[in-house]
Every structure is written in structure tokens, then in C-alpha cells.
Structure 1
Amino acid sequence: MTETVGEAIRAAAERLAKTSDTARLDAELLMAHALGIARSDMLLKAMRDAAPAVFPDLVERRSSHEPVAHILGRQEFFGLELAVTPDTLIPRGDSETIVEAALEAAPSAGRVLDMGTGTGALLLAFLSQREAARGLGMDASEAAIAVARGNADRLGLGERAEFRLDSWLAEDWTVGLGQFDLVLCNPPYVEDDAALDPDVSDYEPAGALFAGPEGLDDYRAIIPQLGKLLLPDGIAVLEIGATQADSVAAIARDSGFESELRHDLGGRPRALILR
């Protein structure tokens, strides 16, 4: 007897429960992808249909810890569907706190810089909410820049978003960038010896994750340079690790900035607004 979509999802969820905290959701997303339809349409209309032959291969990939976003090639962030590849970090819901803080603290920002843009998530989310804003995304990875540029074009934001290959670890990296009303940054902030889930450690770029023994090396490189990048009334919004608020605030204070903390939906410290 042919296995139905609903039966295949239930079996996959049981299998994925060994490796994922979101096993049922993962199974549903993979099945919808295999069917080539929206998850909502699948749940409403296709649960009694025959399961597609490609579905077991997708489940096998997920059971080996490959992220769902990599299997699908996309991830939703702030209501935007973004292309994702192994060359970029997967945008996560926690990082939406950065965008929300920026929209609140710099509602009329005209020129925006996104440092370490990756998929372009932070920059494109902000631009999608502020039609008058224009932005520049910089990244040290040429492959990431290509992903971000493609996302901007697909979302109809390509005319307001530019991208530049550059690294804040390079000498004189601020030369030619100009000044901005708003700087956004989700830098690497994981300690070098931190134990990460295989979904992250085996599949996401190490250069976008690790930042020295305390996870603070990139903040020490970025924050002292922000004064050159910000207009007099400009602000910066930085993502931080859940235990790093005091340490990063101290680095900011040493560079002449006041900081204000924002928490994510889970109640964890997530963003510092620097003025």
C-alpha cells in the first residue's frame, strides 16, 4: 500500500526526533519542499496524497544534521524569503531583534551599513521597512556577497542596496566607506573552544562564527572604528552572545559610546545599541 504524505511525515518526525528539537516542523517543511507547494497548502489539501519518492532522501540528509535551510536553499527572516548557502550563516529569528531595535532607534536612517552582511538579512530587512533608506553591505566572503546581491535583486531591493567585498580586519578598511546614519552588525562572537551542535559546526562557515578565546575579538576590531563610520547622530546596533552584554558594553565605553541593551523573544540579551 502506498504511503501517504501524512503517514510519511509522522514516520519522518519520529526518526528526526533523535537529532532535532523541531522534528515535526522539519518533516513538514521537507515534505512541502518535495511536493513543490506551500506548507499551508500541503496541510490543508495534500495529507492523503501519495508521498513523493524524493522525500526519504531529504529526511536522510536532515538526520545527518544538515540544516533544513540548506536542504531547502532558503530561510525566512523578518517576513522575507532569503536564499541561503553553506557560504553564509543561516539567518535566525533571534537576529530579528537587531532589526527591530534599529527600526525603533533610527526610524529615519537614510544611509545604512551592514557589516558582515552574509545573506544580506539585516540590511534587506531594514530596507524593506524604510522605503527612503539606502544601504551598503560588506563582507569578507565573495561567495556571501553574491548570495546577498542575489537576495536583494529577488526582493526588488537591488537599486537601494550595494555590496562591497571588504574585511574589518584589513588595514584602513574604513577608507572610502563614508559615514552612515545606522550601522548594523552580527559579527562572529562564539568562543574558539565552544561546543556547537553539529547542525552548526559541520555546516556553517567557521569564519562567521568564531572570534577568539572569549568570542570578543571582532568587537575589539569593530567598535573603535565606529566613530569614523557614524554621522554625529548615528547609531550602531550589534548582535551579541547571551553572556556578552557587559563585556561588549565595556569595549564600547572605552571607545566613547553609551550602550543600551535589547533582549530577544526568549528573554536573552541579544542587541546593543551604541550611541
Structure 2
Amino acid sequence: MVVGNVSVQYAQVYSLNTGHTSDPQRQPSIGTVLRETAESLAELPQASPHLEAILLLREATGREHTELLAWPETEIPAADLARFDLLVQRRLAGEPIAHIRGQQAFWTLELQVTPATLIPRPETELLVELALERLPAEVPLLVLDAGAGSGAIAAALASERPAWTLIATDRSQEATRIAGKNLRRYTLGNAGVVNCDWLTPIADGSLHAIVGNPPYLSPTDPHLEQGDLPWEPRGALVAGADGLDAIRTLSAQAASRLRPAGFIALEHGFDQGPAVRGIFNRHGFEDILTHRDLSGRERATTGQLSGQDDRMIKR
């Protein structure tokens, strides 16, 4: 495997006893370590080698990002280098950097993640943008993050809209535990978590909006064997033969749980826009639109129930 070759190359570059191979009398500098580690990590598929090298060195040394870049000539102590070596070996074995660090940046937040939660991705920030854009800011709305995982969407919206109340639901007990920790970390008193299956315990006609990143892959999707996905919970990725079972369930439940003029925004696969629009239409949603992410791919679809609710009028 390529990863195995990379590991050997890396072992030749570093020795925990002697430091950098070019000068056994000195410990390697920050700049040298970052450069050579990035070269090794570049062999991994879907890696961001320079950023990942910095993140791993931050984790091993406790130094800030800016410090690592500002003082490249600083030598790295042997103990820090030993910790760094172990972290890099884990990454070279394919383990997601978010799992190695135990956290992932999302929106303006740094969130705890574990193998029990989906790793928040930049593409999902589109859901946050759509909710902020479409819903009135200063009105006390009840908004639900369905299948919240780490609670990324709920935490982002709660941090931006203190007038709203956010509910994060997930059927995984471990995921709801992590989501709760993330909400408490940022003292988001306007958000809470519920361990449940989608919207099952939510009262009819109680929600103003539902946002979510449900599973949307089929069991045969080749992406399941690529990048970080093999390390993530399969239940947060796969939803039936065509990948749309979770979206069907959520759309059906949302039609009764939302208030008149209630808003829904769900993430989906780049080729699922037409199918999701059809599902929304069958459940009575109107003003159905599919939105593209920063790479230009269709990534989320929104809809709204008919009727009128003064709270839903953006002023």
C-alpha cells in the first residue's frame, strides 16, 4: 500500500532518538518538520498536507498556529517530536485528522468529535447560511437540527441567533452526549439535545424550521471506501438502497411537525436534487429550491409549507 511506503519514508526522515537525519546533533526545526511531514502526507488521498501537518504539530506541541508559522527555525523538543511522530503515523494509516485531534472546526466553532459522530464538513455550512438567510433573526423561533451528530448545525445557529431556540436530535446516545458537550462548551443556553429517532417525540405544529444533514448514501456508493468515510459511523452515512430513506422519513414527519409557513432545509448528494425536490413536493412543500455549495455542486434543498405565520415574515 502507498500508506505503508509513506510510513517507511517518514521513519527514514525522523528518528525519535537522534532527531532530523541531516544533523544528529540538533533537533529538527518547526519549518523542517512541517515541510517534510507535508511531503509525506501528500501521498494520502484527499489530504490537505500542509494544513494537516500544522494541525498535528499544534496538537503535539501545544503551540498556536501563528507561532508555528512565525518561528520556523525553532527546534522541537524530543518529547514533542515523539508525540508528533505517533500522531503522524496514525494519520498515515488513514485515521481522520478530526479523530486524531478529537475536534473539528465548523462555522466559527471548534467542536468535539468522536468515531460515534459524523465529522462536520465545510459543505454543511451551506445549511447554516440558508437558515440565517431565510429566517427572521430577532424572532423567538423553534428550530430543530435533525440527526445532529456532534451538534454542529445547532451550535452554529444558536451562536448566531440568540433569539432562537435550537433542538438537536439524534438516535445515537453517544452522539447526543457529544452534542450536549459542544453546546455547553460555548454556553449556548438557547439549545438542547434530545436522544430520539428523527422527529418522533416532537409535537405536531410546533416547529418553525427543520435543518439537517441526514444520511444520503446507498450501501454500494464507492465513496464509502474513500477518504474519512470508512472511519465514520455507517448509520450516519447510509440510508436505504437509493440513499433517500432518511430524507423520505424526515420530509413526511416535517410536514406535520412544522407550523404553517414552516421551513425545511436538508443536505443531500450532488445528484439527488431532482429526487429530493420530488419528495418535498409530495409532502406539500412549496417554494422548493436546490442550492449549490462552493464547489458548484447541488448540495441542499429547501422548501416551505403553505399558510401564514407572522413570526416567519423576515423584516
Opposite residue 267 of structure 1, the aligned amino acid is G
Q: Percent identity?
A: 37
- For 1:242, the equivalent position in structure 2 comes to 270
TM-score by length of 2: 0.82
Pairing 1:166–2:196 present: yes
Cα 1:147–1:47 shift into 2, 3 Å: farther
Give the distance between the partners of 2:65 and 2:87, measured in 1 at CA: 15
Match of 2:147 among 116, 127, 130: 116
- For 2:177, the equivalent position in structure 1 comes to 146
Alignment: residue pair count: 271
**8 Å contact 2:205–2:259 — kept in the other structure?**
no
- For 1:252, the equivalent position in structure 2 comes to 280
Shift of 1:191: 1.3
- Which segments of structure 1 move beyond 6 Å, counting only runs of 4 or more? none
Cα 1:239–1:125 shift into 2, 3 Å: same
Name whichever of 74-83 and 198-207 sits farther off. Answer: 198-207
Name whichever of 243-252 and 175-184 sits farther off. Answer: 175-184
Give the distance between the partners of 1:152 and 1:223, measured in 2 at CA: 26
Matches within 5 A, 1:28-177: 28-45=54-71, 47-50=73-76, 52=80, 53-108=82-137, 110-157=141-188, 159-168=189-198, 173-176=200-203
**8 Å contact 1:261–1:270 — kept in the other structure?**
yes
Task: Say which one has the larger Rg.
Answer: 2
Name whichever of 48-57 and 188-197 sits farther off. Answer: 48-57
Give per-residue Cα distances to partners, 1:115-166, cap 9 Å, x unaligned. 1011111111011111111111110000000000000000110x21111111
Shift of 1:104: 0.6
Match of 2:240 among 209, 212, 217: 212
Shift of 1:199: 3.6
Shift of 1:240: 1.1
**8 Å contact 1:101–1:271 — kept in the other structure?**
no
Larger RCO, structure (CA 8 Å, separation 6 or more): 1
Shift of 1:174: 4.2
**8 Å contact 2:144–2:166 — kept in the other structure?**
yes
Cα 1:163–1:6 shift into 2, 3 Å: same
Give per-residue Cα distances to partners, 1:141-196, cap 9 Å, x unaligned. 00000000000000110x2111111113xxx8145476111111110001110112
TM-score by length of 1: 0.94
**8 Å contact 1:174–1:229 — kept in the other structure?**
no
Give the distance between the partners of 2:117 and 2:168, measured in 1 at CA: 14
Give the distance between the partners of 1:107 and 1:262, measured in 2 at CA: 20
Q: For the aligned residues, what is the CA RMSD?
A: 1.6
**8 Å contact 1:65–1:198 — kept in the other structure?**
no
Match of 1:13 among 17, 38, 51: 38
Provide structure 1 residue ranges, at least 5 long, that are not aligned to the other structure. Answer: none
Give the distance between the partners of 2:300 and 2:170, measured in 1 at CA: 20
**8 Å contact 2:293–2:299 — kept in the other structure?**
yes
Name whichever of 177-186 and 113-122 sits farther off. Answer: 177-186
- For 2:311, the equivalent position in structure 1 comes to none
Give per-residue Cα distances to partners, 1:102-123, cap 9 Å, x unaligned. 1111133611111101111111
Give the distance between the partners of 2:237 and 2:275, measured in 1 at CA: 18
Matches within 5 A, 1:260-271: 260-271=289-300
